[in-house]
Amino acid sequence: MSKKFEIYAGKELAAYGFPEGHPFGLSRHDAFMEEVNADPVLNKITLHKPVLAEKNQLMMFHTENYIEMVQLKSKQGFGYLDTGDTPAFPGVFEAASYVVGSAVDAVNRIMSGEILKVFIPIAGLHHGRRDRASGFCVFNDCGVVIEQLLQVYGLQKVAYVDIDAHHGDGVFYGFESDPRVVFSDIHESGQYLFPGTGSSDETGINEAKGSKLNIEMNPGDSDVEFLVAWQSVLEFLHKNKPEFILFQCGADSLAGDPLAHLKYSPDTHARASKDLADLANKYCGGKMLAVGGGGYNLSNIKQAWAGVVHGLIDK
C-alpha cells in the first residue's frame, strides 16, 4: 500500500448531514468509517482531520451574495437553502465550509507532493451552483477545487469523472464553456431522475465544445451497461491526457438505493477507481482526489466507498 494515501475524516465532516429523517442524514460518515475500521487493509490508512474553508476559498466558485445568505440562514437555523430539498440547520455554514476546506487542503497537499491521493467520504456535493444550493448540496467542493487547480496551480487539463446516479449539474454548468475542464459523467437519464439534465448532446459550449461527455443510463441498468459506458469515459480521458483527476464516486448508483434506479454492484466503483488510479499514475504523476458524493443506503455506502479506497491504494 502506498503511504502517500490519506482519508479525511472526523466529526466536522460527519456534521454535514440534514436532520429529521432526511436521506442525506448524519450517519453516512460513521457508517463508512465503521467499514474502514473493520477492514484489515483500510484500518491502517492515515486519517487527516477536516479543515475549515476560508471565505476567499469559497469565493473561487461561489458568489459572495450566496455565501452570505448561507451564513445568515445558518445562524437562523430553519427554512430551506433552496426550493425544498436542502434544509438550513444551525451550523450548516460551518459544516459545508469543512467539506470545501478539506478538499482544498487535500489538493494543496497533493499539489505540493506531500501526498499522492486522497479520499473524502463527505464531499462531492456536485449539485451546488455558483449562486445557489441544490439537491442536498450547499457549497460545491468539486467546483471550488477545480477553480483552485485552474487559478492557483495554472493547470490546463483537469479531469472530473462522476459515476453518481445523478448528473453533476453544478460542475457541468459551472464549467460548460471552459475547455480546460474535461468533464465525464455517467448518470441515470434526466428523463427519470433529478436534476433532469445531462443529455448526451450536452458536450460543452463555444470553445469548450467536445470537452464534456454526458452518458445517460436507463433505470435498471447494471454493471454490464456501466462497463460499456465506462470504456467511452476511459477513451475520452486517454485522448485528453489530464493533469489531475477529480473522481465523484456517489454510491447512489448501486442497486437498492432509495432515491435512484440504477443497479450496479459495488464492483463498478472498485473497478472505476482502480482504472482512474492507473490513469492518474500514467498522466498526472499519481495526483487524484476522490470524493464520496451521494448514496442513501448505508450498506451501499460502505461497500462502494471501501471498493473505491481499495482501488486507489492497490498496486
Grid-cell match 451497461, residue found: 225
101 binds Zn ion (CB under 5 A): no
Judge whether 186 and 221 are in contact, CB under 8 Å: no
Q: How would you class 100 by CB atoms within 10 Å of its CB: exposed for 0-12, middle for 13-18, buried for 19 or more?
A: buried
Piece of the chain touching Zn ion by CB under 5 A; list 44-52, 80-88, 179-187, 251-259: 251-259
Query: Taking CB under 5 A as the rule, does residue 250 contact Zn ion?
Result: yes
Query: Does 294 help bind Zn ion (rule: CB under 5 A)?
Result: yes
Nine-digit cell at 257?
438505493
Q: Provide the mask over 204-243, with x wherever binding to Zn ion is found by CB under 5 A and - wherever it is not.
A: ----------------------------------------
Closest approach of Zn ion to the CB of residue 168, in Å: 9
Which value, in Å, is the radius of gyration of the alpha carbons in the chain?
Answer: 17
Q: How many residues line the site for Zn ion (CB under 5 A)?
A: 6
CB atoms within 10 A of CB 40: 6
Binds Zn ion by CB under 5 A, chosen from 252, 276, 287, 290: 252
Nearer to Zn ion, 198 or 294 (CB): 294
Give alpha helix (H) positions in the chain.
11-14, 28-38, 55-58, 64-76, 92-111, 141-151, 169-174, 223-240, 266-283, 298-313
- Specify the 3-state DSSP secondary structure of 63: coil
Identify residues 122-181 at the interface with Zn ion (CB under 5 A): 164-166
In the bound state with Zn ion, the residue whose beta carbon lies nearer, of 17 and 294, is 294
DSSP state letter for 72:
H
Determine the interface stretch with Zn ion among 64-72, 73-81, 248-256, 283-291 (rule: CB under 5 A). Answer: 248-256
Does 187 sit near Zn ion (CB under 5 A)? no
Contacts with Zn ion, residue ranges (CB under 5 A): 164-166, 250, 252, 294
